[in-house]
Amino acid sequence: MSRLVQHNSTAPVPIKSPADGSPTWICQCGLSKNQPLCDGSHQACKDEDSNKLYEYNEKLERNELSQSPRPSSVYKS
């Protein structure tokens, strides 16, 4: 079964290592191919309009959706 997950964040979140304080960047945009770690894919969504809904393909090409598909099944993170 496939799922549609809506992400509103366009940047990763740093988690500091308790050992040395160095950051590990956690993906929040949902586009990283190295989940849960950030791979820089959020650069593709930096200029999104917050009032619109988008989907991305494997090449990170953006497509604007006219409306949310199956709105009752979309989880917002």
Q: Is residue 14 part of a domain?
A: yes
- Quote the pLDDT of residue 10: 94
List, for residues 52-70, the tens digit of each pLDDT value: 999 999 999 999 998 655 5
38-47, 55-64, 67-76: least confident range: 67-76
Coil, strand, or helix at residue 73?
helix
Q: Is residue 76 part of a domain?
A: no
> Structural domain of residue 34, as residue ranges?
9-69
Q: How many domains does the chain have?
A: 1
Q: Is residue 3 part of a domain?
A: no
Q: Is residue 74 part of a domain?
A: no
With contact defined as beta carbons under 8 Å apart, do 26 and 36 qualify? Answer: yes
